[in-house]
Structure 1
């Protein structure tokens, strides 16, 4: 299996998320939830806009303590933006069933992992668009390909694009 690479997709997504972060009034509605995990730290960036009102919450959680700490929008988005600025990405297929049929994931914290659930409707758009993907971030194409080769015997990575399943999907 050859894993699909997502650098182009994430580059386009980052442009859209930068706009949501800086000028939410350009959108009629949106619902954005981002969980970014790496090295025992979880950042959550959550914002929604409906009927002209924007509500947001941003927090971080340390794995060791499990305690949540509210952070500024800038701090949370800087972490997300740094992740989205990495060189290459793989995406998880949502199929985390192990050999024994139990649910589980191969994400072990070696690579930054970012789950993004996003629905938006720009002013004037006839209908909303949505996406839901879980990305693994890598600094280079070579690092991404090497990781994909190491886990080639598991069905966890997306291997064809565009990808659509019940759990995760590219734009629809």
Structure 2
């Protein structure tokens, strides 16, 4: 079954997150939760602005560490930005079957983001789980090896009960 690459989607997401980090005053509201697992470590970005109040938390866990530690905002956003800058991305179309885990050799990031820019007629939201690769050939090879064990997106746009592209 053919796979659907999501590099265009992650390329569009990257400047939105950069704006959110560098120019939050451009947004009326937002609610974001991103969890990146890469090289055995974890980076989590949680940020919300509602009724003019911003609440943010940035934390992570180093490879082989047991404890989570608070991270500087710039460090957390830089890790997410590096992931989004990879050469190719696949996405899951549904939750993983019980007992299935993603290959730790490939970084993956769960993104749940909704936002409304000032003056925009409506809010936009995205809920996806991305897997990052150096290039398209790596992504295709991974998809072929994964076979039917992983629910990878095969048609776009993805619109399922819990996961969806921009809407």
Q: Shift in Å at residue 63 of structure 1?
A: 5.5
Q: Report what 1:100 is aligned to.
A: none
3-state SS of the aligned residue for 2:32?
Answer: strand
Q: Give RMSD over aligned pairs.
A: 1.3
Q: Shift in Å at residue 93 of structure 1?
A: 1.2
Contact in 2 for aligned 1:33/1:46 (Cα 8 Å): yes
CA distance in 1, matches of 2:66, 2:125: 30
Q: Shift in Å at residue 136 of structure 1?
A: 0.4
Structure 1 unaligned spans of 5+: 98-102
3-state SS of the aligned residue for 1:25?
Answer: helix
Deviations 1:113-164 (A, max 9, x none): 1000000011122221111000000011100010011112235101000011
Most deviating of 120-129 and 42-51: 120-129
Contact in 2 for aligned 1:33/1:118 (Cα 8 Å): yes
CA distance in 2, matches of 1:156, 1:146: 15
Deviations 1:53-92 (A, max 9, x none): 2221111113533211111011111111111110000001
Contact in 2 for aligned 1:95/1:155 (Cα 8 Å): no
CA distance in 1, matches of 2:95, 2:110: 14
Residue 146 of structure 2 is aligned to residue 128 of structure 1: no
Structure 2 unaligned spans of 5+: none
Cα separation, partners in 2 of 1:35 and 1:95, compared to 1, 3 Å: closer
Matches within 5 A, 1:153-164: 153-164=148-159
CA distance in 1, matches of 2:99, 2:165: 22
Q: Report what 2:133 is aligned to.
A: 138
Could you state the TM-score of these two structures normalised by the residue count of structure 1?
0.92
Could you state the TM-score of these two structures normalised by the residue count of structure 2?
0.94
Q: Report what 2:160 is aligned to.
A: 165
Q: Report what 1:33 is aligned to.
A: 33
3-state SS of the aligned residue for 2:160?
Answer: coil
Q: Report what 1:48 is aligned to.
A: 48
Cα separation, partners in 2 of 1:95 and 1:71, compared to 1, 3 Å: closer
